[in-house]
Structure 1
Amino acid sequence: MKYIVVLGDGMADEPLEAIGGKTPLEYADTPAMDAMSKKAEIGLVHTIPEGMTPGSDTANLSVLGYDPKIYYSGRSPLEALSIGVDMKPDDVALRCNIVTITEEDKPYEEQRIMDHSSGEISTADAKILLDAVTSELADEIYQFYLGTSYRHCLIWAKGSVVPLTPPHDVLTQVIGQYLPQDEKLRCMQKRSYEILKNHPVNLERKAKGLNPANSFWFWGAGTRPALSSFEEKYHKKGVMISAVDLLKGIAAGAGMHNISVEGANGGLHTNYEGKAQAAVDALTRDGYDFAYIHVEAPDEMGHQGSVERKVQAIEYLDERVIQYVKERMDASGEDYRMMILPDHPTPICVRTHTGNPVPYMLYDSTKLQNNTWNYNEKEAGASGNVIAHGYELMEYLFAR
């Protein structure tokens, strides 16, 4: 038996008047998921433990079987693992986004944050801007590391786990009250704006109508994590397929193998088929038991507040990942179970994460059911199936 998780990051949502009172998942044309759901179990799962902040870090730890209340030590340390940072026990890692803030004739504190991803800036452009800032700000205490697209890492030697606000939680808001209380971090953010606002890369971006990547934004502080081995925990050899450093870091910490797919970038136009094929190859050719396919696009489109693009991301996931994997696994002759779910909702109406339960589907090629439902939030809720703790999902997938 082979096992697959297809995770559409932030795919769950709330009903929207703009699409007839449906959610994007309910409204999207998803023939592969809807056909599978009629032969599968659907229901709701609580991926965010009560009292914890809803995020891809806590939620994906949970989906992979790690209780966040035990294993979570901050988001950025997981990302640091993925890019090979050897954190010391007294180091603190912080996410360093390169964001877009308004360039009004006002003090930095009175600007507004407009885009947490700087228009999904390329890693090549981001490197130039990161280098420009860190050549001035980096020292033996503060070291910067390149990540992917807008997502980068700051290691603070002998630092403190200070409270910091995620940029996607304060989109369009005046930033003053959300700046770091730590004086050095706040000063570095302000200085980054001065260095970047007229940088040639940003002048060129603005000339092309693109959002400038004009400020650093620090958040997600944490200490070195200590995850137990996924293979020892579940006796399954697992592989992670994601473009996002956070997921790669969780996999690295859990001893899973990361597969990098050319053209996979975490955006709407990622290499969906490449991810799907990498999973099939890992399971049918390379001896792996478990593949986790993570697709970031629905979450990014939720943060952007775009109903049209979020629907498109879900439809791409359905056609170019789920249908692709199912057809090739069926053709391989391997028995398999496939679980499909979001990690958390990213509702268009708020443009950030919420902690509501999410719909899951569990399809078993050896135990086909006979149901009438489609896969979406409404029908998953009506099914009556509820998994109270997301960290129970892996046991459920493997033992069912």
Structure 2
Amino acid sequence: MIRIRNPRRPTDFMKYAVICPDGASDWPIAALGQRTPFQAARLPNLSRLAREGLVGRTLHVPAGMDNGSDICVMSLIGFDPARYHTGRAPLEARSLGVDLGPDDIAVRCNTVTVEHGVMVDYSAGHIRTEESRPLLEALQAALGTDEVRFHPGVQYRHLLVLRRPDGLQAECTPPHNITGREVAAYLPQGPDGGFLRDLMERSIPVFADHPANEARRRRGEGLATQIWLWGYGRRPSLPAFREVYGVSGALISAVDLLRSLAMYLGLDVLQVPGITGFTDTNYAGKGQFAVEALERHDLVFVHIEAPDECGHIGDHARKIESLERIDAEVIGRLAESAHAKRGELRLLVCPDHPTPCALKTHATEPVPFLAWGPGVPAAGLEYHEADARRSPCEVAPGHALMDRFLKGDWRNP
């Protein structure tokens, strides 16, 4: 296979793997003896790589910006959100096959569970895609127009596209930030807030007696009581990853946000069977596809959503389980591949943001990263939040981490 020569690489055949355990970083938990899930989990592969590599910290939230995954993942993948970010929903649109025009505004549309005015579940009980799709189709039939179009997505994550040449002005709150709270104080506000609130209210009778909800009710599962609108924006303009970094790449993720971002960046989006964006995902499949992707690409980016979802529901036990499976079935497979390639693979492990189980939403704090492989100095630390804080290596701003990883430049500025 012919390789394009890249002066950043220690050899002409260097390969790169970036693993993002979304929301994995956490706070000490009393039930775990004041340890974090990273500290409590059994992670033999990460522990070995940490001792042989470099542990540091970085913050993927630029000053004045929100700590959403749309911003943090854009930073982790090496692009400055302050320059390129236009909103979450437009980043998700492309993987749904939705081509946004110049007058279009994409709005994130969750199916949620609101009971007695309280946000019970931002995901409607992690509703299955085959159940949420007919709900969105019914919504389009009832409320859709040439200017208002609902597009089904994956599980609870859907899209509303508005044709509004004059734009949209509203202050919206992500539903995962208000679990257990009364929603009245968090409804869309601003000049166009009433328009969004009206759509949300009109979704309630559409969903109320829908067969998909009736089936969930019979099984004792949470109902999708309405939609929640947030995260809007226009189509972004992003350069190709290869133009910026000089390497080809592929991405593995079950989440539309990541898949669309990859498409905008010209990365190959891999279709892995059985990946779900939750704890029942196909971890082994992600690991195997990542190894195989490196036969065709210079870099593979593997995103695993499960730890973040566990943080949002406050379940540290399942978060630990997801980390252990990532270690065994994703990190382990890539580490085996690195051994087989005799040192021609460099690894980076880094969450996009913390999702502490006690908080049940994102925290604007630095996250620990682990770099390992050729050109990476050995620091002898463990991979968890406490050792990352005492490490002398801090990368700022966060979007510079990708460049330093590819160059093998770990000198503190």
TM-score normalized with structure 2 length: 0.92
Q: How does 1:265-344 map to 2 (within 5 A)?
A: 265-284=276-295, 286=296, 288-333=297-342, 335-344=344-353
Cα distance in 1 for residues equivalent to 2:79 and 2:376: 29
In structure 2, runs of 5+ residues without a counterpart are 1-13, 409-413
| Cα-to-partner distance string for 1:304-354 (whole Å, 9 max, x where unaligned) | 111111111111111111112211332244601100010000011111111
3-state SS of 2:126 partner: coil
Deviation for aligned residue 1:271: 0.7
3-state SS of 2:107 partner: strand
Cα distance in 2 for residues equivalent to 1:237 and 1:372: 31
Contact 1:279 1:293 in 2 (8 A): yes
Q: Name the residue aligned to 1:200.
A: 211
Contact 1:359 1:377 in 2 (8 A): yes
Cα distance in 2 for residues equivalent to 1:301 and 1:342: 14
For these two proteins, the number of residue pairs brought into alignment is 390
Q: Which amino acid aligns with 1:48?
A: V
Q: Name the residue aligned to 1:174.
A: 182
Contact 1:163 1:221 in 2 (8 A): no
Cα distance in 1 for residues equivalent to 2:47 and 2:376: 14
Deviation for aligned residue 1:135: 0.8
Contact 1:280 1:329 in 2 (8 A): no
Q: Name the residue aligned to 1:164.
A: 172
Contact 2:142 2:206 in 1 (8 A): no
3-state SS of 1:299 partner: helix
In structure 1, runs of 5+ residues without a counterpart are 105-110
Q: Name the residue aligned to 1:26.
A: 39
Q: Name the residue aligned to 1:46.
A: 59
* Inter-CA distance 16–318: structure 2 relative to 1 (3 Å threshold): same
1:98 aligns with 2:111: yes
3-state SS of 1:121 partner: coil
Q: Name the residue aligned to 1:65.
A: 78
Cα distance in 1 for residues equivalent to 2:66 and 2:400: 19
Query: In the alignment, which of 136, 143, 146 is matched to residue 142 of structure 2?
Result: 136
Query: In the alignment, which of 100, 110, 133 is matched to residue 127 of structure 1?
Result: 133
Query: In the alignment, which of 152, 155, 163 is matched to residue 146 of structure 1?
Result: 152
| Cα-to-partner distance string for 1:351-378 (whole Å, 9 max, x where unaligned) | 11111000000001x3575544210000
Deviation for aligned residue 1:176: 1.2
Contact 2:54 2:376 in 1 (8 A): no
Query: In the alignment, which of 200, 204, 207 is matched to residue 189 of structure 1?
Result: 200
Deviation for aligned residue 1:83: 1.4
TM-score normalized with structure 1 length: 0.95
Contact 1:240 1:291 in 2 (8 A): yes
1:392 aligns with 2:400: yes
Cα distance in 2 for residues equivalent to 1:161 and 1:19: 44
Q: Which amino acid aligns with 1:303?
A: H
Contact 1:162 1:221 in 2 (8 A): no
Deviation for aligned residue 1:144: 1.1
Contact 1:161 1:221 in 2 (8 A): no
Q: Which amino acid aligns with 1:14?
A: W
Q: Name the residue aligned to 1:357.
A: 366
Deviation for aligned residue 1:90: 2.2
Deviation for aligned residue 1:121: 1.2
Q: Name the residue aligned to 1:107.
A: none
Q: Name the residue aligned to 1:236.
A: 247
Cα distance in 2 for residues equivalent to 1:332 and 1:100: 49
Contact 1:143 1:155 in 2 (8 A): yes
Contact 1:161 1:222 in 2 (8 A): no
3-state SS of 2:370 partner: strand
Cα distance in 2 for residues equivalent to 1:96 and 1:307: 27
3-state SS of 1:79 partner: helix
| Cα-to-partner distance string for 1:284-315 (whole Å, 9 max, x where unaligned) | 2x2x0010000000000000111111111111
* Inter-CA distance 116–245: structure 2 relative to 1 (3 Å threshold): same
Q: Name the residue aligned to 1:5.
A: 18
Q: Aligned residues: percent identity?
A: 38
Contact 2:139 2:150 in 1 (8 A): no
Cα distance in 2 for residues equivalent to 1:85 and 1:328: 37
3-state SS of 1:54 partner: coil
Q: CA RMSD in A?
A: 1.3
What stretches of structure 1 move > 4 A for 4+ residues in a row?
367-371
Cα distance in 2 for residues equivalent to 1:320 and 1:27: 18
